[in-house]
Structure 1
């Protein structure tokens, strides 16, 4: 109850301002200086810096989440000016702050890039989309030529019918990009998962499951559940490849979970996927540490 009250008072703009003023008088340092100089792990520093900037009354400082062209060096200079930091005494503040800001702004830019890809519908009239789809086929079934664009052979890699275009509705081009990245950059893992999907008793639809797992990774990213992973594990601006690797990790772990459950049929997919999603969510929320990738 006491911690809840303190947190409420701190988040209240008026009382928070008083707390910050008192601490600055006592320590001689602004909030951002105190965070950077603290003994906390980098992850907690980044989370605290992000919160401090978000709650800042300065319009120069609280735009870190919304700018796609954020200049981290300029923002540090804005902080130095706004907070009246004597750089002669606090020169060691600059380098780590630039790195932390790079991770924060990069994470938020990544969420926008992922959302943008998800909103792009797959179009069989788009040659780039079709080329990506063919790359997926050729990597998973090398040497096997499709007799036509629409064929039941697509079911060999886990699509539901003759035209894969109809399966990307929910995740758009994000779903296809995840599958293509898996097949091109982690081919051994992709073929391992594909072979499991052909299991005579516990088989599943490789591509469809991949699109579903894309949805899990996407939802976690948008809900902020992957923030701690990115801030702790990616010591730079995160890229789309970092998101794709999370997708692959989830897919690999889901495959293990699916096989361990020994389902009676594919009809159990929704139940098992929901269980798996909760397991991953509990892991992310309880440990507050980066994911440990285990795929091949």
Structure 2
């Protein structure tokens, strides 16, 4: 990503095409008028938003391609699907998660004390999906299948620093999904951060960007947890720190794809 000064106080931020992002600061814009601006800014696939930063308001313009719009729509749909224990496909996803996590152990039932081994709060994991929905189960399953070594390492702390305490693995995964959803703010009508703009560019390169970002977030969170010798009471602080690290990496000049993020190298 390169930054180029244009007329007046405007900065144009250029990324890989076809995503076009521009930024203009206007100290005279009031908060009440910060939703958008002149209708002349609007066009098909073009959105803009003003937000306050260091005493001024900045407008973010994102011109989405049809591909980006479609992939964003699909992701938003995934985010709105609630976990339904009565649906056969949701039941099958749970069984698949168990098989990917414990391939040598037979699951005795979708409600069983066995689930506590994975870090669910009780015998029925379906009760823990309320915050993030079915996509949080999809994220865990994606992690378990795509980066099985990292997944098992985090689950069992194999070869790493052993701790006498820790975080509930599966529940932590649900919280990470929810954190990323908040960070990207995809439910907002208009984008409010450059992080979302960068993510949408990455999404055009790889449809699985959200799931890959989830895997990165998990290993970053675990790394920070161990480095801090954190306790369960500090989980929210570690999660906030993880979000800050992700945002920092996403906004690096040389990060144009999800694989360019420095912490992607932690996955194996």
Counterpart CA distance in 2 for 1:111 and 1:45 is 15
CA RMSD across the alignment: 3.6
What is the 5 A alignment of 1:280-291?
280-285=246-251, 287=253, 289-290=255-256, 291=261
Q: CA 1:111–1:230 in 2, change beyond 3 Å: closer, same or farther?
A: closer
Q: CA 1:173–1:181 in 2, change beyond 3 Å: closer, same or farther?
A: same
Counterpart CA distance in 1 for 2:95 and 2:138 is 12
Counterpart CA distance in 2 for 1:195 and 1:227 is 36
| Cα contact 2:183–2:243 (8 A) shared by 1 | no
- Give me the TM-score of the superposition, normalised by structure 2: 0.70
Q: Give the CA deviation at 1:280.
A: 2.5
Kindly tell me the number of residue pairs found equivalent between the two proteins.
223
| Cα contact 1:194–1:206 (8 A) shared by 2 | yes
Counterpart CA distance in 2 for 1:134 and 1:50 is 47
**Does residue 221 in structure 1 map to residue 188 in structure 2?**
no
Counterpart CA distance in 1 for 2:117 and 2:129 is 17
Deviations 1:143-184 (A, max 9, x none): 211223211210111111000101111111110110111112
Unpaired stretches in structure 2, ≥5 consecutive residues: 25-36, 48-62, 186-191
| Cα contact 1:229–1:289 (8 A) shared by 2 | no
The residue number in structure 1 matching 2:19 is 46
Counterpart CA distance in 2 for 1:120 and 1:242 is 19
Larger Rg: 1
- Give me the TM-score of the superposition, normalised by structure 1: 0.64
User: Which structure features the higher share of helix residues?
Assistant: 1
The residue number in structure 1 matching 2:242 is 276
Unpaired stretches in structure 1, ≥5 consecutive residues: 11-34, 67-100
Q: CA 1:178–1:137 in 2, change beyond 3 Å: closer, same or farther?
A: same
What is the 5 A alignment of 1:23-38?
none
The residue number in structure 2 matching 1:116 is 77
Q: CA 1:242–1:280 in 2, change beyond 3 Å: closer, same or farther?
A: closer
Q: CA 1:199–1:158 in 2, change beyond 3 Å: closer, same or farther?
A: farther
In structure 1, the residue corresponding to 2:16 is in which secondary structure? Answer: helix
| Cα contact 1:118–1:174 (8 A) shared by 2 | yes
The residue number in structure 1 matching 2:131 is 170
Deviations 1:17-66 (A, max 9, x none): xxxxxxxxxxxxxxxxxx9xxxx854387324899xx988498xx22269
Deviations 1:205-256 (A, max 9, x none): 111111111122222222551422552x56x5541x2211111111111111
